[in-house]
Structures are given as C-alpha cells and as structure tokens.
Structure 1
Amino acid sequence: MDIQQQAIGFLGGTFDPIHFGHLRPALEISEAISLKQLFIMPNHIAPHKSKSHGSAKQRCKMVELAISSQSRMAIDKRELQRHQPSYTIDTLKELKAEYPDTPICFIMGMDSLTNFDSWYEWQNILSYCHLVISHRPGWQCKFNKKVETLVKQHQTTDQHDLHNLQCGKIYFQTTSQLAISSTEIRELLKHNISIDFLTPEAVIDYIKEHHLYQTK
C-alpha cells in the first residue's frame, strides 16, 4: 500500500466485560485497513450509560488479558483516569495533540453512526479523526438527514485516504458481526450459566477468580 503515514486506530467502549463480539471485528478492521496499531480504550463513565458493573480497574485488566497475544493491539487508559463523563471529542483533541502527524481512525459500529448527530460536538469530530464504521456484510442502513448528509460529504471507499489524509473521512468496513453482548454475558453469569466461547479464556478465568457479575 502506497501510504505516507500509517494510521492508528482507537476502539472505545465500556467493555463490561470485553468479548469476541468486540475483539473479532476489531482485529478484522485492523488487518483490512492496515493500521499500525489499534488501541482498545475502555470508558470510565460513558455519557450514555448510568454506571458500569465491573470497576474501571477490573475492566482494564480484562482488556489487557484479552489482547495480550496481539502485538498490534494495546490498551489506552486515558478515559479510565477521568472522574467525569468522557466525551469522544475531548479524547480526540488529546489524541491529536499527542499524535499530531499521525492519522487517527476512530472505530464504531453502524448503530453508533445512526445516532451520531446526538453526540456531544458531533460536527467537530471529523476535524480530528477518520470514522471507520464496522458493519455486517450486505446491511444497508437508513440514516436521518443530518447523518446522511455527513456521510455523503465525507465517505471514501479508498483505504489510502485513511493514511494519506489526517482526518475527515468516513470509511465503511464489513466485519463479522457476532451476536454476543456484555449484557448477555452478565445475565448468564448471574444465573450460573457457562460463558465459554463468548470471551477469551483468560477473561473467563479472571471473572471466576474475582466472582464478577454474580448476584450477591
């Protein structure tokens, strides 16, 4: 690939707990668009969620365990160290100051893009990054007019743009969409049902060791 500067990626989320539904699409995107490194970035307090179930320290450790064998994946802890709701625009401003010459790809699912115009300072986000949208093969989504206009203005189908331009593009990447959710995992654990094959073994072992997500 003829590129000037290899982009890095960031995938944010509560990861309560992290599972293969997060990890497999993340890996596929990292390889498909040739990211130099992909950072998994757990939230401390997500603006749209009232609370998490696992502590920041526990969720951080589970992410570290989940990606330990992936040399091009790392954890970014900056949002965990905040003590107030964490907004994407604030994080992106920090990242661009830290990586002024490196293109940044912010990864999200199609469901997040559909309500993107409800995000805090959403009009400014593409000034700091590209958006890489993970979606299932063949799925066509109908956006509201604001998001539809944004996509029309910024969409690219050329991967080179993600590396050769600093920011401003929206790129759609098809990925495996595994029907796994953190909510489902917590519910299974609450009822003492196995979560084998839903998340890495190291994460399962950590959950068992610390008796996470079980009814007190």
Structure 2
Amino acid sequence: MNKSNQTAIGFLGGTFDPIHFGHLRPALEIQQALDLQALYLMPNYIAPHKSKSLASAQQRIDMVQLAIQDTPTLQLTTQELLRPSRSYTIDTLKLLRQQYPETPLCFIMGMDSLIQFDSWYRHQEILSYCHLVVSHRPGWEPQFNSVISELLRKHQISDPAQLHQFLSGHIYFQSTTQLAISSSEIRDLLATNKSINFLTPQPVCAYIKEQRCYK
C-alpha cells in the first residue's frame, strides 16, 4: 500500500438529472468531514436513446456548474460523461489514477452500493486504485454477505486521517444527512407543472425553466 504526502480528493458519481440538494448536502458534508482538498461531482454517461425526458449531457454539465458555483470545494469532472459509451467504475478509476498519480483518491458510494459491491465488474481490483467512502444515514446497520464482511474486515478503518496517508486501499463509513429527494420526483413534478423550488438550488430551477429540460 503506497504512502502519500498529499491531501485526498473525492469523486461522487451520479446521473444528476437534475442535480439536487439530496446530492449536494452529503457531498459537502463528506468533503468537510474528511477534509478533502476537493470533491468532484462526476455525471454518469446516459445512452442517448434511453429516454426523451432526460436532459442532454451539456444541460447536466450546466446544471452541476450552476449548483456548485458558490462552493469552491465542490468541483465538476466530465471524466465519464463525455465518453462515447458507458464505462465500468474500474476503467474510470484507472484513468483518474493516471491523472492523479500521487494523490489519494476517495470514491464515494452509498451503503446500498456497498451491499452489492461484490457484483461490480472486477470489484477485487477497485481498492488498488482508490479508497471507498461509504455514505450512510446515522444509525443504519445493514446486513452484509460473507464477501463484503471479509472485505470490511481487511480494509475498513475508523481513522479518516489514513485516507490522506495512503493512496488507496481503505474503506471508511461516513454518516451524512440523507434528504428524501430524487431526480425522478423532480422530473415528475415538472411534468405536471408543479414547482421544484427548495428541492434544488434556485439557479438550477431557473435554468430548467429556461431550457425546458424535461418538457
């Protein structure tokens, strides 16, 4: 396990279609709690034919930029979005490691993703490229299968300082505020001409209205 003398950075993937406070609040809490030098929001690729109701890649980029414009520790990366097709997490992490060879990388996921992590493509390799930071609601104690339990036995840490001391290889649990907001709920409200105020930042609300993203 390679040591580091740099402050870790984080990456949080999602479709962000549209981005909302349910994404933004946990992202900010993780960045601050772990003292990450930056946390990058990474919109996922969506196949162009998937749905006519979804925003375009450029619109999703614009909405993320508007949402984080006043929060410099939250940044945007288009690493996955601008590829010609969907990619596996391991492929993205390999590219990020090439881009940041000496920086600890924290890949952020929800507890539901960790529960099924052993079904991910080449999941055994992922901790060679990054740490996993698992966002969860306070007090939640999920049941893990034997594969995930063994992974946690080997790699889970309780001291977040180790996320900065090593380039990769650890799993850390971080409790965050879980807001019951979903992008699909926002799209449904828009489809029925209802307000989405207070679900996503006001500049995003204005942009969606102006662009008619989900009409």
TM-score between both structures, scaled by the size of structure 2? 0.94
Whole-Å Cα distance in 1 between the matches of residues 22 and 42 of structure 2? 15
The alpha carbon displacement at 1:175 in A equals 0.4
2:65 pairs with 1:64: yes
Contact 1:134 1:174 in 2 (8 A): yes
Which letter does structure 2 place at the counterpart of 1:81? L
TM-score between both structures, scaled by the size of structure 1? 0.93
Corresponding residue for residue 184 of structure 1 = 185
Which letter does structure 2 place at the counterpart of 1:187? D
SS of the residue 1:127 aligns to: coil
Corresponding residue for residue 149 of structure 1 = 150
Instruction: Provide the aligned length of Structure 1 versus Structure 2.
Output: 210
2:199 pairs with 1:204: no
Contact 1:45 1:86 in 2 (8 A): no
Unaligned runs of 5+ in 2: none
SS of the residue 1:158 aligns to: coil
Alignment identity in percent?
Answer: 60
2:185 pairs with 1:175: no
Within-5 A mapping of 1:13-52: 13-45=14-46, 50=50
Whole-Å Cα distance in 2 between the matches of residues 45 and 145 of structure 1? 33
Whole-Å Cα distance in 1 between the matches of residues 149 and 43 of structure 2? 28
Which letter does structure 1 place at the counterpart of 2:214? Y
User: Hey, which bits of structure 1, 4+ residues long, moved more than 2 A?
Assistant: none
CA deviation map 1:78-115 (0-9, x unaligned): 21111111211111001111111100000111111111
Whole-Å Cα distance in 1 between the matches of residues 57 and 87 of structure 2? 13
CA deviation map 1:58-80 (0-9, x unaligned): 11110000000011111001211
Which letter does structure 2 place at the counterpart of 1:35? L
SS of the residue 1:79 aligns to: coil
